[in-house]
Amino acid sequence: MKHSILALVLLCGCGPAFAEELFTNSDGPVDPRRADADLDAEQDAGPDKDSTVGWGGDGAPEAAREAASREADAPAPWCIAEPPAGWRPVLAYRGASAVSCPADFTGAESSYNGLAAPAAVCGCTCGPPTGVTCTARIGRGCGTCPSARDLTFADQACGGFFSGCNPSATLYIGLDAPSAGTGGSCAPAPSVSVPAIGWNEAVTTCSPVMLTGEGCGPGQVRLPERAGFRQCVTRDGDFSCPGAFPDRVLRFRGVVDTRGCSACTCSAPTSTCGGVMHVSNGMVDGCAAPQAVVPIAQGCQIIANGGAARYLAAPTGACTPAAVTPTGNAMPNQPVTVCCL
């Protein structure tokens, strides 16, 4: 533009005063040669520096490019201090139960706190007595109930008791009341129910798929934030937190469970020896063919033609079970330390 005006002045033959006016500004006279240099500089400089035309493109001013670069390199909220040796950067979620990791994280690990482990429920009963020793005592009488019980029969034993009575006389046998058994035992039957354990809180930790320091400042690593998760570091064991991660939670992955019950035992049985006496014609077949079955009870029984008998005991009774109580406990183990910003 200034070149065109200068040419017009020269062509029109206007005086020096007009030319002087054209090349004078508020700061004083303008040297035409300097004006040409200024014009060339403006053309080389390109668009005005405050223009938004070409921001971020090939025509962006160098200053804008440098600003964009500084913004990209500045530490962002997803950058954390690089953890000390032995610690891993993770996102951590605390809740009533474990959760899945975000899509761009992996290696979900769950640990727990607030162990709930009710005591075992215990019971103890005893089976029927076995191995009890029983005996029965009987007497013989001719025509009347005998007053003496002079014969003793062990369980399953066959013995003769020939009365020597006149064949026409009525034969009586007298029996004692059932005696107390001796010895024997009862089989204990314990019952143990150990309730399932539970936890009041779960912590899920998730590791980034790739750990880099891109976009972060010196001594930092990238750990993007995700809704509901906190930026943390973790390591197995019970440790104090690194200084940059002051919020400490101690959680556990396992349990040592020794819950149970005390021993279930049974006392010696208290038993009574009942049963029956098989009376036979012992002169012919011993005890092989009983002719009468006489219950073991206090009193007398009339029998016919008896000469032998076998006692078949049927003891009754019970054992007393021992009182049982819960034992042991459940303790968390395999600690995990999680320290968060």
Q: Report, in angstroms and rounded to the nearest whole number, the Rg of the chain calculated over CA atoms.
A: 55
pLDDT grade, residue 163 (50/70/90)? low
What pLDDT digit, counting tens, does each position of 236-270 carry? 999 999 999 999 999 999 999 999 999 999 999 99
The token duo for 158 is 């066959």
What pLDDT digit, counting tens, does each position of 99-149 carry? 999 988 998 999 999 999 999 999 999 999 999 999 998 888 888 888 888
What pLDDT digit, counting tens, does each position of 47-91 carry? 333 332 222 333 333 433 443 344 344 445 689 999 999 999 999
The answer to whether the CB of 2 falls within 8 A of the CB of 24 is no
Coil, strand or helix: which one is 290? strand
Compute the distance between CA of residue 280 and CA of residue 159 in angstroms, rounded to an integer. 10
DSSP sequence for 135-161? EEEEEEEESS--S---EEEEBT-EEE-
DSSP sequence for 37-54? HHHHHHHHH-S-TT--TT
Strand 330-340 and strand 105-116: pairing?
A: unpaired
The answer to whether the CB of 255 falls within 8 A of the CB of 341 is no
Compute the distance between CA of residue 193 and CA of residue 205 in angstroms, rounded to an integer. 34
What pLDDT digit, counting tens, does each position of 219-239 carry? 999 998 899 999 999 999 999
- Domain residue ranges of the chain, discontinuous segments joined by +: 1-45, 79-118+195-260+331-340, 128-188+265-318
pLDDT at 275 over 60: yes
Element housing 200 (H / E): strand 198-208
pLDDT recorded at residue 305: 65
The answer to whether the CB of 155 falls within 8 A of the CB of 274 is no
pTM recorded for the entire structure: 0.62
Farthest-apart Cα atoms in the chain, separation: 189
